[in-house]
Structure 1
Amino acid sequence: MTSTFLYGGQVHANGIRQHYLRYGGAEGVQGERPSVIVIPGITSPAATWGFVAERIGTHFDTYVLDVRGRGLSDAGDELDYSLEQQALDVIALAQALELKRWVLVGHSMGGRIAVRAASKKPGGLASVVAVDPPVSGPHRRPYPAKLDWYVDSIRQARRGMDAEQMRHFCPNWTFEQLQLRAQWLHTCKESAIVQSFSDFGRDDIFADLPQVDVPLLLMTAERGDVVRAEDVAEWQAISPASRHVRVPGAGHMIPWDNEAGFYAAFGTFLGTALV
């Protein structure tokens, strides 16, 4: 398949330098459709989502964001790594890129960011896809992963590690997936990851759902424990217009576990199928 990758770029938005990767472009049918902003999870720099952006880029003008504290975006000790600021980053990015109509596709932490951003009703936002977002929060069960897993792997990556050493943390991934994570994980600032992880227990995205007034797709993992059936029921009780689809045979890292199922789960929600 011919690559849809165009370039990496940076903008100054919401007071920080934000780095992104662009795929697809705005020529032809892509220019007639909303742009797509992909927001990765807690320790996933933009480069690790390139394989997904390649596919989305065949249909849409696509931007993959390095969330603050990850990849090539700002990662200063003085930065606020809260969900609120991350959501404002995304809105400011869309404005800086002068996007007229745009869609948010957020995975895990990125899904929480997308919901919070949508709750602010930014101009131009057309729809949101929240992919297996943590539903932990005050008086809710904790996020099932452990902070030490993230911190230990980041510290090892900072010293230098290869794909086989990364396999200790992600035993079911392919060599290519492990190598890419080993290459980029060191760019995740530890303090940013610690605050984001802690905020999984402090921010309740269910409280944001009533303010979301654009079409919303909740995509969850059949084999994951991040979003359970009872969580889906509560989500849809609060946001009855939202759609839900479970991806078979996939854990939390859905496109890594079942890439074809991940694309199929979108259906025509974005306006055209990705398969």
Structure 2
Amino acid sequence: MSRFLYGANVQANGIRQHYLRYGGQGPALILIPGITSPAITWGFVAERLGEKYDTYVLDVRGRGLSSSGPELTYDAETCAQDVNAFAAALKLDSYSLIGHSMGARFALRAAVLQPAGVRRLVLVDPPVSGPGRRDYPGKWPWYVDSIRQSLSGMDAEQMRAYCPTWSEEQRQLRAEWLHTCYEPAIQRAYEDFHQVDSHRDYPALSMPTLLMIAGLGGVILPEDEAEIRALQPEITLAHVANAGHMIPWDDFDGFFRALGDFLD
């Protein structure tokens, strides 16, 4: 039985924010996807989360069915403020945040800007690049080439060139929705991976925080773990040894083993 309830829009931080809701019972949970992942692509994860949590999956601005276009700004600070405005618009006064990759950096910043409502914070393989640091391992052409191809229409087989390890269903869904990722929004997010230092926020965290690390992703290396733990000694680390950066796609059960009962 599906845990999906509905998709809806809310006016928050001056834009239309679209979301998908799963479960409807239990503690509230807001899930913020990565750089080119509209909310619907996280549906298979939200179905499982919806068994225990009232789960809201966001379309980040410039993606999916949320506001997009040249009149908007797409910097990391604004996108973090979107998260807090979304929670306020839905009158969620106590909730957990899960963010993946870019979404993890937004969740981290949102939790520091407005910690009062955040019960728990889960950061799934966030980029640790920034000023004076090594580059993010994902290269820009991978993003822009696939987005431009999707604008003219692509199918699951064509998506295989970009996501060779994914199932046909996963590739089909990405091929269907990737065209909603507005290229300037994606470019600004990618640039912010290298221009914004998210490490500044770790010492300010005041809620229980889990850092989930992909063993095969190359995003967070042992020295990065050590630095983050030094900045925030209370953080919990969990590894998914056999997964790349897209952890639930590579090891669905491993993702949930790493999450464990942390949100409880």
TM class by shorter chain equals over 0.9
CA–CA distance in structure 2, aligned partners of residues 123 and 62 of structure 1 = 19
CA–CA distance in structure 2, aligned partners of residues 122 and 268 of structure 1 = 21
Please tell me the root mean square deviation across aligned C-alpha atoms, in Å: 0.7
TM-score of the aligned structures, taking structure 1 as reference length: 0.95
Query: Which of 162, 171, 196 matches 1:178?
Result: 171
* Counterpart check, 1:203 vs 2:196: yes
Contact 2:84 2:114 in 1 (8 A): no
* Counterpart check, 1:111 vs 2:116: no
- AA aligned to 1:191 is P
Query: Which of 235, 240, 248 matches 1:247?
Result: 240
CA shift digits 1:12-64 (9 cap, x unpaired):
000100000000003xxx1xx3x110000000000000000000000000000
With 5-14 and 114-123 compared, the bigger mean Cα shift is at 114-123
CA–CA distance in structure 1, aligned partners of residues 85 and 116 of structure 2 = 11
| Cross-structure match for 1:102 | 95
CA–CA distance in structure 2, aligned partners of residues 162 and 93 of structure 1 = 33
CA–CA distance in structure 1, aligned partners of residues 241 and 144 of structure 2 = 30
Contact 1:120 1:211 in 2 (8 A): no
CA–CA distance in structure 1, aligned partners of residues 115 and 207 of structure 2 = 10
Moved over 6 A (4+): none
* Counterpart check, 1:92 vs 2:91: no
Query: Which of 244, 253, 264 matches 2:257?
Result: 264
Structure 1: gaps (5+ residues): none
Query: Which of 31, 42, 53 matches 1:38?
Result: 31
Structure 2: gaps (5+ residues): none
Q: Give the CA deviation at 1:122.
A: 3.6
| Cross-structure match for 1:11 | 10
Q: Give the CA deviation at 1:100.
A: 2.1
| Cross-structure match for 2:206 | 213
Q: Give the CA deviation at 1:87.
A: 0.4
Contact 1:91 1:122 in 2 (8 A): no
CA–CA distance in structure 2, aligned partners of residues 175 and 3 of structure 1 = 20
| Cross-structure match for 1:194 | 187
3-state SS of 1:208 partner: helix
| Cross-structure match for 1:21 | 20
3-state SS of 1:165 partner: helix
* Counterpart check, 1:222 vs 2:246: no
Taking only the aligned residue pairs, the percentage that are identical comes to: 59
Number of equivalenced pairs: 264
CA–CA distance in structure 1, aligned partners of residues 9 and 70 of structure 2 = 20
CA–CA distance in structure 2, aligned partners of residues 11 and 173 of structure 1 = 32
| Cross-structure match for 1:146 | 139
| Cross-structure match for 1:234 | 227
Q: Give the CA deviation at 1:189.
A: 0.1
- AA aligned to 1:6 is L
- AA aligned to 1:16 is I
* Counterpart check, 1:128 vs 2:121: yes
Q: Give the CA deviation at 1:211.
A: 1.4
3-state SS of 1:128 partner: strand
Q: Give the CA deviation at 1:179.
A: 0.3
3-state SS of 1:201 partner: helix
CA–CA distance in structure 1, aligned partners of residues 209 and 115 of structure 2 = 15
CA shift digits 1:236-259 (9 cap, x unpaired):
000000000110210000000000
CA–CA distance in structure 2, aligned partners of residues 191 and 127 of structure 1 = 31
- AA aligned to 2:214 is A
Q: Give the CA deviation at 1:68.
A: 0.3
CA–CA distance in structure 2, aligned partners of residues 80 and 220 of structure 1 = 30
TM-score of the aligned structures, taking structure 2 as reference length: 0.99
CA shift digits 1:111-164 (9 cap, x unpaired):
000111111134311111000000000000000111111011000001000000
* Counterpart check, 1:49 vs 2:42: yes
Q: Give the CA deviation at 1:105.
A: 0.3
- AA aligned to 2:60 is V
Contact 1:121 1:212 in 2 (8 A): no
3-state SS of 2:255 partner: helix
